[in-house]
Copies of this chain bind each other. A is one copy, B any other.
Amino acid sequence: MRVNLEARAATGENRRAQTRAKLVDAAARVIADKGREATSIEDIVAEAGVARGTFYNYFPTVDELLDALNTRMAQAVDAAMAPIRAEITDPPSLLAATLHRFMVALTADPVGGWLALRMEGSVAPRQLIFERRFDALFQEGVRIGRFRQGNRDAARSLLFGAFRMAQRDVMLGQTSPDHVVELVALLLMAFGVTPEEARDISRKAAAEAEDQRHYHPVM
């Protein structure tokens, strides 16, 4: 009897990928709910509906799984932003659009939003991919005179720190509706955009992001 070894291997790989995804998804939900430190392997496998030992067939430790999760999130978010990167060429406008879209995505998807906050500390708080996008955008903005000349590292600290803190405030519900609009405007001002234009850009970007709220679950 002849056996189709390739088909069998493909089936196996498929099943493997499915189980792996089940675990990563489950971990995202559990960690968003309880926080990294309160999450045990037991919690994750229970949520995933697999046996305890199965976990170790895929990840040696919870932190390995977290890395996978982190990478997956960052890539998903970055991919979701591809359309606006293609469409918007003005750096301040692209920055504002990205931040507002990101915030909408985080609040639209409670799991992803909480997850991002709760991973504070256990994983890199700034993803390399986002840093690179920002660096390019900032450099281009300076080059064409839309941003003031300045230390890029300090600008990064400002942007990523402020955004994270705002995310926290928004998710905890302690903010007024225009909190994010104002924050993004402040960032643009810090980078050299005039107050009036900064507020204008931020407001428009916020409105457009809201329109997209239900179209793009990113994580």
Binding site for B on A (CB under 8 A): 35, 37, 120-121, 125, 148, 150-151, 153-155, 157-158, 160-166, 168-169, 174-176, 178-180, 182-183, 185-187, 189-192, 195
Contact = CB atoms under 8 A, between A and B. Distances in A.
Contacts of A190: 186-187, 189-190
Given A121-B120, A153-B176, A165 B160 contact: yes
A139 to B, nearest CB: 16
Residue from A37, A162, A185, A187 whose CB has the most chain B CB atoms within 10 Å: A162
25 contacts: A37-B37, A120-B120, A121-B121, A151-B182, A153-B169, A153-B182, A154-B180, A154-B182, A155-B186, A157-B162, A157-B165, A157-B179, A158-B162, A158-B165, A158-B183, A158-B186, A158-B187, A160-B165, A161-B162, A161-B166, A162-B165, A164-B165, A186-B190, A187-B190, A192-B195
A4 to B, nearest CB: 17
A34 to B, nearest CB: 13
Nearest to A120: B121
Oligomer copy total: 4
A186 B150 contact: yes
Nearest to A166: B157
A183 B160 contact: no
Given A37-B37, A120-B120, A121-B120, A183 B169 contact: no
A125 B189 contact: no
Contacts of A169: 153, 157
Contact of A183 (B157, B180, B186, B187): B157
A150 B182 contact: yes
B153 A175 contact: yes
A177 to B, nearest CB: 11
Contacts of A120: 120-121
Given A153-B169, A157-B183, 19 more contacts: A120-B121, A121-B121, A125-B165, A125-B168, A150-B186, A151-B176, A151-B178, A153-B174, A154-B180, A155-B182, A157-B166, A158-B166, A158-B186, A158-B187, A161-B161, A161-B163, A162-B162, A189-B192, A192-B195
